[in-house]
Structure 1
Amino acid sequence: MKQRSVAAMIALSAVVVLLLVAWLAPLPYSVYRPGVTLNVLGDESPDGKPIIQVSGHPAYRDGGQLRMTTVSVTRRETRLGLWDLLGAWFDRDAAVYPRSAVYPDTSGTEQEDTNEGAVEMASSQDTATAVALKELGISVPQMLEIVAVVPKSPADGHLQAHDLLEQVNGTDVTSPDAAVKAIQAAPAGKPVELTVLRDGKQTTVSFTPGEKNGKPYLGVSLGMGYKFPFQVSVDIDPAIGGPSAGLMFSLGIYDTLTPGSLTDGKPIAGTGEIETDGSVGPIGGIQQKIPAARDAGAKLFLVPADNCNDAEGANNGSMRLVKVTTMDSAVKAIQTWVKNPNATLPTCGSAS
């Protein structure tokens, strides 16, 4: 065989190897795809009961649909190759992002991501309940809340998510900082006594904190919660985390607590983080949530005002996109649309 032929074969083999490496090697990117949608007015809780449960106040069930939307995101520890990314690149409903933009904390773990999402979800549910009650003219005072309890931590089995913390060793606490100071002031190795409100009843729990980085460790996440006049709970798959369903939770609770159907039985979807003052904040993955709602049969989609630019590029089909700024504006938009599906409504673009 001639020397030139041998060289050509070696070069070709090297090119093939390089192509295979490039094709199979993991690349630093993540993919967003449309996720599941859940009708918060339905019976899609993990135990088959209504997602929204009410105790101490009449609940009005109807056949409407208020669908929260989610995004399927590449998990932190999953590595994608060129083939995976090309498939997502040519999928109109998917999006490819640098992995560093999706997971800026490179030292984090999937369990930490799950815990953070669970805390955000619990907080958003409480805020959604408070906003819905305020929309109905019901006063809701704020209190310090146990947002989440770390499994197998010192607090596990003693405290529960949604407990409202009143005192630490007899000292009133009204903020996370005050609670931390009171716990750190407790004698080392001695039980700490916490007074909490649980399901509207005051109870006292006592247990010995652990130690982490030389400081007392309970294993809880604290935040500002609310003292509700009656019990409202939102039960969805714990694998779904984050705060972006806040608006839809709030609308679902509002509808459940009022006679008649807010949606008039029609399928409506949306997204948006709900704030204490009732304003609707932006979320991630709007271009994937819109097609998820479209495929679920929704006819109207509620878009946070600050997501308008991205929403205009989403594949919504014939589903109407309506811009919302507050819980109240969302309620009014739905009521207007229910009466007349062709009514002029606030939108992200020039169309109405």
Structure 2
Amino acid sequence: MSRRALTLLLAGFLVLALGVIGAFRPVPYVVLSPGPTENTIGEVDKKPVITIKGRQTYPTSGALSLVTVAYQGGPAAQIDLLTALRGWLDPTVAVVPQETIFAPGRNAEEVEEENVVEMTNSQDSATAAALTELKIPYTVGVGVLSTEPGKPADGKVQKDDEITSVDGEPTKDSEAVQKAVKAHKPGESVVLGVVRGGKKLDVTLQTVAGPQGQTIVGLTMGPKFTFPFDVDISVGDVGGPSAGLMFSLGILDKLTPGELTGGKKIAGTGTIQPTGEVGAIGGIAQKMIGAKDAGATIFLTPPGNCAEASQAVPDGLRLVRADTLHQAVLALDALRTGKGQVPSCEAG
């Protein structure tokens, strides 16, 4: 073999070796794919997704399915370049920058923990929205979601405590609690009236200065709902806030005579506010694929996702725009009876 041929052979081998090594190097991307689809009026692991106690319920049929997105990758388990390339070539998945899912400095455990909190909050908001739609009264207080390690509230205030007053003055929402705490100078004491396990307690905390110099005690708060009957939602290993709309519809279907679906397999997505407004979510393309694969023919879509969804909707899946829970109910009524208008994404 000539020297020139040997040089070309070695160079080719080196390029090939570097290409193989490079293909398996980790890259800061995440692969999103269709995740599990669960029927909110059905069962998961032989247990009803929605269980209502203390209120009459009615039979249901068909499906009102929530849809999810599975991801591969992340700071602790980065995908390699070859996996990313396969994802870019697969029309059923999306490859997105890692920071889309994981904010800088956050690990997989923190993301999972946040998803669990968001799921819990979503279930409470979904129940509140359903009861609002049915004009069933409930009460809302100020609940403790978490405390910041090392701050005054840590160890003295507990998750799920309800804050009822600050320095003896009743409070109606978390903004009122924050305003009352900020009225103190850092280092001064503040007294929180809390309800814990049905017992009223006064908790005295010494305030400190926050990052911007504001007075804080290290609390994360949110609405704490008290409903007139028990609504339990169990979906297994699913997190995040995007199932809110479908939870609300499942609760409504169980609490009202007749069947919302008319026996059809309906899927959808969207966050929900206690007042019924439906919010946009991520991974809409993968969720629609999951819905179609599960046999759904109707897909309830948040207005903020309509444009993207219209560009990627699978054949045989009809998009129905759901601005609010009430609009979603009217749309399902129209689909079932053939009377009334059905809002579409194409119509804006």
When the two structures are superposed, what TM-score results if normalisation uses the length of structure 2?
0.83
Amino acid at match of 2:19: L
Structure 2 counterpart of 1:307: 305
Match of 2:342 in 1: 345
CA-to-aligned-CA distance 1:84-131 (integer Å, 9 cap, x gap): 12322222211111223333x221111211121122112211111111
Q: Kindly state the Cα deviation for residue 313 of structure 1 after the two structures are TM-superposed.
A: 2.5
Residue ranges of structure 1 left out of the alignment (5+ in a row): none
Q: Structure 1 residues 106-115 or 92-101, which shifts more?
A: 92-101
For the residue of structure 1 that corresponds to 2:87, the secondary structure is helix
Contact 1:168 1:195 in 2 (8 A): no
User: Superposition RMSD on alpha carbons, in Å?
Assistant: 3.6
The change in CA–CA distance for 1:206 and 1:64 in structure 2 (over 3 A counts) is: farther
| 1:195–1:30 Cα change, 3 Å | same
With over 3 angstroms needed to count, the CA separation of the structure-2 counterparts of 1:118 and 1:150, relative to structure 1, is farther
| Residue 94 (structure 2) aligns with | 95
Taking the aligned partners of 1:286 and 1:140, their CA distance within structure 2 comes to: 33
Equivalent residues in 2 for 1:253-268 (5 A)? 253-268=251-266
Aligned residues: 339
1:327 is aligned to: 325
Matches within 5 A, 1:5-84: 5-44=5-44, 48-77=46-75, 78-84=77-83
In 2: Cα distance, 1:61 partner to 1:150 partner = 45
State the distance in 2 between where 1:197 and 1:127 align. Answer: 21
- Is the Cα contact below 8 Å between 1:75 and 1:110 reproduced in 2? no
Is 1:296 aligned to residue 294 of structure 2? Answer: yes
**Whole-angstrom distance in 2 between the partners of 1:155 and 1:204:** 19
Query: 3-state SS of the aligned residue for 1:117?
Result: helix
Between the aligned residues of both structures, percent identity stands at 36
Which residue does the alignment assign to 1:222?
Answer: 221
Letter in 1 for 2:20: L
Deviation sequence 1:118-162 (CA, Å, 0-9, x none): 2211221111111111111123333112346899x997999554x
**Letter of the 1:253 counterpart:** I
Higher mean alpha-carbon deviation, 1-10 vs 175-184, is at 175-184
Judge conservation of contact 1:141–1:226 (CA < 8 Å) in 2: yes
Contact 1:122 1:147 in 2 (8 A): no
1:43-76 residue CA offsets vs partner (Å, 9 max, x unmatched) = 216xx43222223221224233110110012242
In structure 1, how many angstroms separate the alpha carbons of the residues matched to 2:117 and 2:14?
50
What's 2:194 paired with?
195
Query: Relative to structure 1, is the Cα distance of residues 26 and 330 closer, same or farther in structure 2, using a 3 angstrom cutoff?
Result: same
Q: Is the 8 A contact 2:147 2:157 kept in 1?
A: no
- 2:124 is matched by which residue type in structure 1? D
Report the counterpart of residue 275 of structure 1 in structure 2. 273
Is 1:128 the counterpart of 2:126? The answer is yes
Shift of 1:230: 2.3
Any stretches of 5+ residues in structure 2 without a counterpart? none
Q: Does 1:139 align with 2:140?
A: no
List 4+ stretches of structure 1 deviating above 6 A.
153-158, 180-185, 205-209, 211-218
Please give the secondary structure, in 2, of the residue aligned with 1:41.
coil
